[in-house]
A and B are shown apart, each in its own frame.
Chain A
């Protein structure tokens, strides 16, 4: 990982998922992880020195092919629910994080650009950030409702996502799903993904981070993160 906040969320989500499955892993920081990746997503995982898996979504399908799944106890309706909220987090929240890191000038010039080009010589240190920024702009402009890419959309969009997540957690504050028979919490891939991104946002040190303020007004989201660390055996990834 290059230490960029936007990718840190996915890395934390993957660590949580591996910990829930009881899988051991080691972390290596590589400058060229973007180019090792098979689909442009990172972090990149290498299993048995042979299988290369990039990003959270690809890891989920890889693990389910190997028989590792956290959501087998869920009903069909609950699995549909899980996929819907996973889509909300990965296609909206994650994209907003990328916007905050790459397209807000204050964050870009003070944090993102120095981190991205820390070990890159000129002229690559001028060319590569330009292409990455262009890609993020295209990704955001491609959202059907955000084609006018501007800072004004970030706060209302984050508020609506935060409200949707908070309302959903009103019934089950510690995880999204409960076992219908025993009533105990069921930690699923969605909980790992959401925890990863919320942790990245709340722990972020970016100077201009409106998302943190918009999410911080929902105590259920903070309680959810605390529960994930205290009650479900996740290693502490944040200081609450």
Chain B
């Protein structure tokens, strides 16, 4: 078995919440699942993808992958949960993947500053030129269509109105998670569960990602959720947590943007120079032919 994931950054093994869910689940179970970093897709399929070497089959989506690990390798986190807890796991997982994931996508792709300073550099590291620009535009259109389909029938609906609804939903979800957590170590008691893997994956990315958004501001106000995220981050990804510094990432994003601007300017000057040389050369050639004609 091998888990195909996107590359990591911001002190985390991956920058995709669904890949991080599976990795966190395996860490919490103490299961060492081999991972392979891909550029964003595996054979055209969106990651995470779990490939099974013996049968050649593959599985997508975190829930399907976790279900396989439970059935095949008995890697189980939720044995101690009551019926009510299992029901809440399904409902809360659905809520946070709908609201928080949508809000994260909106923050990264529909905000111009975040798009230029965070999303584009991320995709430039993942994909080669010019594919990175095409993939980034594809993602931007996907997020735009998603929020319009969910919140409005009108293709020309005001995006600010839609974003307000998105962030209101995500704020309510964060409040519910904070209320559920209370003073406990984990969301459903003192032992981690599948719900914690899902919650940590989304909350850690919201907290660590340098993108500025209302979602991040709402989460910063919930102290117990922030402590919970840091606790799990330190416990299950200690090396990455120790080596991560937010200012280094922001500087890296800024310097990467400046490098690309410099490269574009150099390419433009080079093109202008070639054009001038060509024009000067062809005039010289015409003058020489004119002289020979005499």
Contacts and interface: CB of A to CB of B under 8 A. Distances in A.
A160 B97 CA distance: 15
B152 A138 contact: no
Interface stretch (A18-26, A139-147, A231-239): A139-147
A201 to B, nearest CB: 18
Interface stretch (B113-121, B172-180, B245-253, B270-278): B172-180
Nearest to B177: A80
A136 to B, nearest CB: 8
B151 A168 contact: no
A147 B44 CA distance: 13
Contact of B18 (A142, A144, A160, A161): A144
Interface in B116-156: 142, 145-146, 148-154
B151 A164 contact: no
A145 B97 CA distance: 9
Nearest to A140: B149
A83 B172 contact: yes
Contacts of A142: 102, 142, 145-146, 149-150
Contact of A91 (B18, B94, B145, B148): B94
A180 interface: no
A76 B95 contact: no
A54 B105 CA distance: 27
Which range holds the interface residue count of chain B?
Answer: 35 or more
Contacts of B180: 80
Interface string B85-101: 01110111011011101
Contact of A138 (B62, B99, B145): B145
A87 B86 CA distance: 16
B84 interface: yes
B60 interface: yes
A164 B90 contact: yes
A171 B82 CA distance: 12
A85 B145 contact: no
A135 interface: yes
Contact of B176 (A84, A144, A147, A161): A84
A32 interface: no
B219 to A, nearest CB: 17
Contacts of A77: 179
Contacts of A71: none
B84 A170 contact: yes
Interface in A34-59: 34, 37, 39-40
A148 interface: yes
Given A34-B153, A145-B63, A171-B84, A138 B90 contact: no
Interface in A142-199: 142-145, 147-148, 160-161, 163-165, 167-168, 170-171
Interface of A: 34, 37, 39-40, 76-77, 80-81, 83-85, 87-88, 91-92, 135, 138-139, 141-145, 147-148, 160-161, 163-165, 167-168, 170-171
Given A142-B146, A142-B150, 19 more contacts: A37-B153, A39-B151, A39-B152, A80-B176, A80-B179, A80-B180, A83-B95, A85-B91, A88-B94, A135-B149, A139-B150, A148-B60, A161-B90, A164-B86, A164-B87, A168-B84, A168-B88, A170-B83, A171-B84
18 contacts: A40-B153, A81-B88, A84-B91, A84-B95, A84-B176, A87-B99, A88-B90, A88-B94, A88-B95, A91-B94, A138-B145, A138-B146, A142-B146, A164-B87, A164-B91, A165-B87, A167-B86, A171-B84
